[in-house]
Amino acid sequence: MTSKPLPLCRIQITDAFWKREQELIRSAVLPYQWEALNDRVEGAAPSWWMHNMRAAARAVAAKKAGGQYIPRQKPRGMVIEGPDPAQADPDLFYGWVFQDSDGYKWIEAAAYQLALAPDDALQSQVQQAIDAIGAAQEADSYLNTFYTLTGIENRFTNLKDHHELYCFGHLVEAAVAWKEATGRQDLLDIARRFAACIGRRFGPGKERACPGHEIAEMALMRLYEATGEPEWRTLANFFLDVRGTAPSTFALEENARRRKDGLPELPVTADRYAYYQAHMPVRQMTEATGHAVRQMYLCSGMADAARLNNDPEMREACLRLWHSAVDEKMYVTGGVGGTHVGEAFSRPYDLPGDTAYSETCAAIGLVFFARRMLQMAPDSRYTDAMERALYNTVLAGMALDGKSFFYVNPLEVDPAACHSDDRLRHVQPQRQKWFGCACCPPNISRLLSSLGAYAFTRSDGTLFVHLYVSSRFETELNGRRLQLRLQADLMRDGKITLSVMEGAAEGAIAFRIPGWADGMTVHAPRKEQRREKGYLYLTGAWTQGEKITLDFAMPVRVLTGNPLIRETAGQICYARGPLIYCAEEADNGKLLHLLRAIPQADAEVETQAIGPVSLPVLRVAAKRILAKDAPLYADWKAPETADVTLTLIPYFAWANRGEGEMRVWMHC
């Protein structure tokens, strides 16, 4: 039974925790990111987004006026370092080749916010951004500031690395979101024209191609669903089916460059391109490999294709990749991509805590993949992973005041080591204001602003409640409208109430039974109850004024890692509900590795202020090894210990009280 998300404009998040997050995005994050896109944030790495759009617009205008545009740059390398923006040459491109995507992601997030509530200032900033994008679109509808400014004749010659189709995908996502939020067609027209430009060159019976960084696949599927225009699904299917087949399109384009440089050509087999998930046809894939964000975006596109084409073979491939990514390669925090070498997936069970990469965007990609798997066939294992990624790694990506961000999400941090050890150069002990490669902050904004689309989906006869986020929302059930209110507060407990505020309908409301729930009680008079794949289906007549309640037991849990994970051997971590906990220096002093957890000890749940919010923390008895004057090595004897009370805070809230040690897994 397939399902689709409810329109965001029909969902009002009222949840004490999530409403604050969404408002933070609106009031602090989006305005800040707009300043960043315009290079007006002192002390932050420049974005160059508006700069590049304006420079490209001048080039395009010159060409449209019949003049010539001779670029002063060559499309070499992935990043063009710029000076201080005040000293920048107004006609040059600066930053990463995929810089255009940052602004597209920002527009997408802003559109979701505008679907939730009007905001004239935000709307007019988006309009400025759209005007800038429209002006940078070439006469033949091509749109990419990097190639416009470095030589348009070179476009589509390095799809492997130069992210044209990635920027295109983000443009499409933004355009559909904007149209759905405001009814405005302008950005959608720009995106459709660019899609058509791509479709004139690539597709069945035309040139073969596939994106080096996936997203175009899921974006085109979304464009197809939004417009009903079949050519976008055809193009998405084409990109998926070309991927990993011989002759490798990446090898062919590399060889074209090598020929120009007088270098010998390489074999055109696909097997060298596992980093790009282009080493075998996607339908044959069994293991999540290579760059983690790309892999998750590919999986999302594959899941869309499996659903929209009703393609069981593609679904089987999705299931295998899900198993690999989630059952063998996911951190307890829902992060994926264990190695900083290439921001990539490592071997199964290789999940180091201190050198973890676990990019925020990769966890976001896992959320995308999970929602799409749920749309195909509801099963709480997808929702459990989605919730784990969301409540832990995704949330950790942003400070509680919305002013700084993590790109990398380690599970163990010693700031002294981060500052001095090159092996940890990628690990920041404090969130950063912005990044030269700023993929994560706007990705967090777009996901959190569209949270409702992950909380609920519906098919004709069933409404699915995936995430327990307090909200008021409207849905249809078997063609009849219902206004519903969901009350929950997972930061406190697992009590859920669903009330019918208005309307009457017959059908099923399916509630996910979270994997963390240690039993549940259900009060649902006059409803037939059935459990399937981790969902409780309550079927019957739903009428105004009625209420059903669920109470999921939410004890503190002590988790262990699979014995094959070397890094978690002999350690435990604490969890409660969707939250994974960690110890921080701010509460427990330095040298956290000397703490010894006592798995049998009962933990108390208390509320503590952390930065601007009050959060549930755990207090639990533990021991601390006394380490005074010990030689480097000595004969073993039972260590001297002191009794301590360990304070554990939700992982997502770490690094909000200055720099200090942190660890998720505790020795015991």
Any idea which residues carry the catalytic annotation? 343, 439
* Nearest distance from C-beta of residue 322 to ligand FUB, angstroms: 20
The one-letter code for the residue type at 448 is L
Least distance to Zn ion from the beta carbon of 170, Å?
12
Is the CB of 439 or the CB of 453 nearer to Zn ion?
439
Contact in structure between 215 and 166 (CB atoms under 8 Å): yes
* Closer residue to ligand FUB, CB minimum distance, 3 or 339: 339
Q: Which of residues 338-367 bind Zn ion (CB under 5 A)?
A: 359, 361
User: Min. distance of Cβ 176 from Zn ion in angstroms?
Assistant: 21
Helix axes 186-201, 120-136, angle to 10 degrees: 30
Q: How many residues bind Zn ion (CB under 5 A)?
A: 4
CB atoms within 10 A of CB 505: 19
Convert residues 435-464 into a mask of x (bound to Zn ion by CB under 5 A) and - (unbound): ----xx------------------------
The nearer residue to ligand FUB, 188 or 361, going by C-beta atoms, is 361
User: At 68, which amino acid appears?
Assistant: Q
Residue 223 or 439: the one with the smaller Cβ distance to ligand FUB is 439
Q: How many CA atoms lie within 13 A of 564 on its CB side?
A: 7
Question: Residue 610: what are its φ and ψ, rounded to 5°?
Answer: -125, 115
Per-residue tokens: 561: 């890692």
Peptide linkage before 514 cis (omega within 30 of 0)? no
Query: Any bridge partners for residue 521, and if so which?
Result: 551
Closest contact distance (angstroms) between CB of 341 and ligand FUB is 13
The closest residue (CB) to ligand FUB is 293
Q: Give how far Cα 366 sits from Cα of 371, 394, 430, 475, Å.
A: 9, 10, 24, 26
Q: Token match 């988790």: residue?
A: 559
- Largest separation between any pair of C-alpha atoms in the chain: 85
In the complex with ligand FUB, the residue whose CB is nearer, 438 or 622, is 438
Q: Are 643 and 621 in contact (CB under 8 A)?
A: yes
- Contact partner at residue 25 from Zn ion, ligand FUB, none, CB < 5 to 8 Å by partner kind: none
Are 314 and 385 in contact by the 8 Å Cβ rule? The answer is no
Which residues, 6+ apart, have CB-to-CB distance to 263 below 8 Å?
none
Select from Zn ion, ligand FUB, none the partner in contact with residue 213, using the beta carbon and a kind-dependent cut-off of 5 to 8 Å: ligand FUB
Question: What is the CA 612 to chain-centroid distance, rounded?
Answer: 24
Beta carbon of residue 476, minimum distance to ligand FUB (angstroms, whole number): 36
Cα(330)–Cα(345) distance, integer angstroms: 9
CB of 440 to Zn ion, least distance (A): 4
Look up residue 263 and give its two tokens.
């270098």
Q: What span, in angstroms and rounded, lies between the C-alpha atoms of 627 and 148?
A: 62
**Which of Zn ion, ligand FUB, none interacts with 159 (beta carbon under 5 to 8 A by kind)?**
none
Position closest to Zn ion via CB: 361
- In whole angstroms, how far apart are CA 264 and each of 160, 255, 261, 279, 473? 19, 8, 9, 21, 61
Q: How far is CA 385 from CA 114, 274, 409, 507, in A?
A: 28, 24, 17, 27
Are 344 and 291 in contact by the 8 Å Cβ rule? The answer is yes
Q: If contact means CB under 5 to 8 A according to the sort of partner, which of ligand FUB, Zn ion, none does residue 98 touch?
A: ligand FUB
Comparing CA positions, the residue from 90, 93, 214 lying closest to residue 164 is 214
**Minimum distance from CB of 431 to Zn ion (Å)?**
13
Q: Considering the complex, what minimum distance in angstroms separates the CB of residue 294 from Zn ion?
A: 11
Assess contact for 348 and 330: CB atoms under 8 A.
no
Nearer to ligand FUB, 78 or 121 (CB): 78
C-beta of 355 vs 462, nearer to Zn ion: 355
Helix, strand, coil percentages in the chain from 3-state DSSP, rounded to 5? 40, 20, 40
What is the nearest approach in angstroms of Zn ion to the Cβ of residue 406? Answer: 10
Q: How many CB atoms lie within 10 A of CB 626?
A: 12
- Work out whether the CA dihedral 42, 45, 46, 49 comes out positive or negative: negative
Question: Least distance from C-beta 297 to ligand FUB, angstroms?
Answer: 8
Contact 537, 531 (CB under 8 A): yes
| Residue 166 or 224 with smaller CB distance to ligand FUB | 166
Two structure tokens written together for 12: 């009002």
Residue 505, contacted partner among ligand FUB, Zn ion, none, CB below 5-8 A by kind: none
Residues of this chain that interact with ligand FUB (CB under 6 A) are 98, 213, 293, 343, 359, 361, 437, 439
Instruction: Pick the closer one to ligand FUB by CB: 101 or 647.
Output: 101
Rg (CA), the chain: 25
Q: Any idea what DSSP says for residue 479?
A: T
The pair of structure tokens assigned to 444 is 């967090």
CB distance 467 to 387 below 8 Å? yes
Residue 243 site contact among Zn ion, ligand FUB, none (CB < 5 to 8 Å, cut-off depends on kind): none
Q: State the first-to-last Cα distance of the chain, in angstroms, to the nearest integer.
A: 45
Which residue number, 21 or 359, has a Cβ lying nearer to ligand FUB?
359
Separation of alpha carbons 281 and 242, rounded Å: 7
Look at residue 635 and give its three-state secondary structure. Answer: coil
| Spatial contact of 539 and 528, defined as CB atoms under 8 Å apart | yes
Is residue 215 near Zn ion by the rule CB under 5 A?
Answer: no
Shortest separation between residue 295's beta carbon and ligand FUB, angstroms: 10
Task: Answer for the pair 489, 17: CB distance below 8 angstroms, yes or no.
Answer: yes
Question: Which residues of the shown chain bind Zn ion in the complex (CB under 5 A)?
Answer: 359, 361, 439-440
